[in-house]
Amino acid sequence: MVTSRILAYQILLHLEQKAPHLDRLIRTTLERHSRLGERDRALLTELVYGVERWRGRLDWHIDQLSRTPPERISPQVRLLLRLALYQILFLDRIPDHAAVNDAVEIAKNSQPPHVIRFINGLLREAARRAERSEDPEDRGPLASTPARGRWNWPDWQKDPAACISIMTSNPLWLVRRLVAEIGPEEAARFFEAGNKIAPAVFRINTLKISREEALACLHKEGIAAESSSRLEGAISVRAPRRDMTETEAFQRGFLQPQDEASQIVSLLLAPGPGERVLDLCCGLGVKSAHLAMLMKNEGEVLGVDTAAWKLDEARKNAERQAITIFRTLAEDGLALQPESTGLFDRVLLDAPCTGLGAVRRKPDIKWRRHIKDSYRMSLIQRELLLQAARFVKPGGVLVYATCTVVREENEAVADYLGDFHPEFVLEPASRHLSPLCRDMVSGPYYRSWPHKHETDGFFSARWRRA
């Protein structure tokens, strides 16, 4: 019998061997196993996201418990241990013995007897430790982070970065970088917020419906949603119990999944009806559709991307929202020439980045990044920013945006433009944001943080061409 735990193990194994989109992998699995009940579907999702979210911490527990050197534990066995340990240490509603027994049963299908004994013994010891009272060690601002049982935690006073890395389950190189940029206390709060489950946030498609009508539509479908406290055009759903893409509100184009921080980027560009807008790295076209909506579906939005499959999805998404001014071009943004497209009133460069501001929604991304990735990304981002500037009309607006939090990909790239294009005047973000968003300003730039604003972490800069 296929259970949610077996499916979760298979998904995690697939994720370890390849690099697919986690949410798509879960959705595909649920579609293939449509007979799974609602509780089992929810458990599968919880297990996969939870194991990825706490992967570093779970590995630390494994290494603390195991007498076998870490390098001698196979990836398949380590994944099975992570899955069971997550249930033992982080989920109250699952009995420890059930988590242990299920792991042993799964192991029997592929592991020899001595490995099964190793799995059983390690997990039973973890369950015993979990029953002991919590350690009194100093964990600084991380005192509220989940820490069931008695363990030899790193000491905050001696090594804040190591404490943050283990307690919040993040790569040590990344923690050290953020500690150097924003300080240990602020970094601790940022990484702690990254482990919280983000609400499902939606942009209301005002071409079709008002906020009040959208809320009423969701209410009819038994979904409790609430208005954003920052943006008129956003609503959120806490822990939805069903796939929101299956709702009437989504399928009729009333709603688009999009975090508030992402929506603010389009508001910063502020396109008007009748203008020409270029979205140079449009991806799945989420911001392209928002720009077209802000333009009241009048004018032109050109979405450029190298991935044809993303552009196909972007066109379908635009059609669902009744947007008719969006067209696409499958081409490398660096190879595009203004002579072939003409100049634009507004240009958005939503640049490829390390994505470290969106860890709440994509917990696997922190394990896919490496210490030199920000530097590599910044080189591409600088090239793309200089290229984007070539397409802006005199008097037009250019906006650069990322969904990451490191300065090397944000302020350092934005500052680079002025060295080559003095005709681009940096405009303070505060001039173009509503009073409710003014706390998301850092100097002349727009910056959002999960621990400060309960949104994804975004950065944006805006220039006007003289």
| Mean pLDDT, residues 452-464 taken together | 98
pLDDT of 138 strictly over 70: no
The token duo for 293 is 């909506």
Number of C-beta neighbours around residue 136 at 10 A: 7
pLDDT score recorded for residue 364:
94
Lookup: tokens for 289: 């559709």
Measured in degrees and rounded to the nearest 5, phi and psi for residue 280 equal -70, -30
Q: Is the pLDDT of residue 396 over 80?
A: yes
Query: For residue 135, what pLDDT is reported?
Result: 57
Are 144 and 167 contacting, i.e. CB atoms less than 8 angstroms apart? no
Q: In which band, very low, low, confident or very high, does the pLDDT at 9 lie, cut at 50, 70 and 90?
A: very high
User: How far apart, in whole angstroms, are the C-alpha atoms of residue 401 and residue 405?
Assistant: 11
User: What is the 3 state secondary structure string of the chain?
Assistant: CCCHHHHHHHHHHHHHHCCCCHHHHHHHHHHHCCCCCHHHHHHHHHHHHHHHHCHHHHHHHHHHHCCCCHHHCCHHHHHHHHHHHHHHHHCCCCCHHHHHHHHHHHHCCCCCHHHHHHHHHHHHHHHHHHCCCCCCCCCHHHCCCCCCCCCCCCCCCCCHHHHHHHHHCCCHHHHHHHHHHHCHHHHHHHHHHCCCCCCEEEEECCCCCCHHHHHHHHHHCCCCCEECCCCCCEEEECCCCCCHHHCHHHHCCCEEECCHHHHHHHHHHCCCCCCEEEECCCCCCHHHHHHHHHCCCCCEEEEEECCHHHHHHHHHHHHHCCCCCEEEEECCCCCCCHHHHCCEEEEEEECCCCCHHHCCCCCCHHHHCCCCHHHHHHHHHHHHHHHHHCCEEEEEEEEEEECCCCHHHCHHHHHHHHHHCCCEEEECHHHHCCHHHHHHEECCEEECCHHHHCCCCCEEEEEEEC
Give the residues across from 398 on adjacent strands: 347, 463
pLDDT greater than 60 at residue 136: no
Q: Does 260-465 match 200-257 at the fold level?
A: no
pLDDT of residue 121: 97
Residue 147 in this model has a pLDDT that exceeds 80: no
Fold of the CATH domain 4-130: N-utilizing Substance Protein B Homolog; Chain A (1.10.940)
Query: Binning pLDDT at 50, 70 and 90, where does residue 133 land?
Result: low
Beta-bridged to residue 424, according to DSSP, are 465
Mean per-residue pLDDT, 5-12: 94
Q: How many CB atoms lie within 10 A of CB 435?
A: 7
* Cβ pair 159, 179 in contact under 8 A: no
Per-residue pLDDT, averaged over 222-236, amounts to 94
Matching residue, tokens 């920013």 = 385
- Statement: the pTM of the whole predicted model exceeds 0.75: yes
Query: Quick one: pLDDT at residue 2?
Result: 84
Q: Could you tell me which CATH number the domain at 260-465 has?
A: 3.40.50.150
Distance CA 23, CA 440 (A): 28
What are the domain boundaries of the chain? 4-130, 158-193, 200-257, 260-465
Q: pLDDT category, 325, cuts 50, 70, 90?
A: very high
Answer whether 433's CB lies under 8 Å from 441's CB.
Answer: yes
**Residue 329: φ, ψ to 5°:** -145, 115
User: Of 317, 284, 285, 283, nearest to 301 (Cα)?
Assistant: 285
Query: Chain centroid to CA 257: how far?
Result: 12
Contact between 99 and 138 under an 8 Å Cβ cutoff? The reply is no
pLDDT at position 431, please? 95
Distance CA(381)–CA(333), nearest Å, equals 11
Top-confidence residue, 142 or 211: 211
Q: What is the mean pLDDT of the chain?
A: 94
pLDDT recorded at residue 19: 65
Which pLDDT tens digit goes with each residue over 156-188?
999 999 999 999 999 999 999 999 999 999 999
> pLDDT tens digits for 62-88?
999 999 999 999 999 999 999 999 999
Single out the residue of 5, 48, 8, 4 nearest to residue 364, CA to CA: 48
How does pLDDT run across 330-367, given as a tens digit for each residue?
Answer: 999 999 999 999 999 999 999 999 999 999 999 999 99
With 0-12 / 13-18 / 19 or more C-beta atoms within 10 angstroms meaning exposed / middle / buried, residue 360 is buried
The per-residue pLDDT for range 424-457, each reduced to its tens digit, is: 999 999 999 999 999 999 999 999 999 999 999 9
Look at residue 137 in the predicted model and tell me its pLDDT. 59
- Class of the 200-257 domain? alpha beta
Residue type, 31: E
Nearest to 166 by CA among 248, 250, 62: 62
> How would you classify residue 454: left for phi > 0, otherwise alpha for psi between -120 and 50, otherwise beta?
left
Contacts of 316 (CB under 8 A, 6+ apart): none
- pLDDT tens sequence across 262-309: 999 999 999 999 999 999 999 999 999 999 999 999 999 999 999 999
- Which whole number is the average pLDDT over 122-139? 79
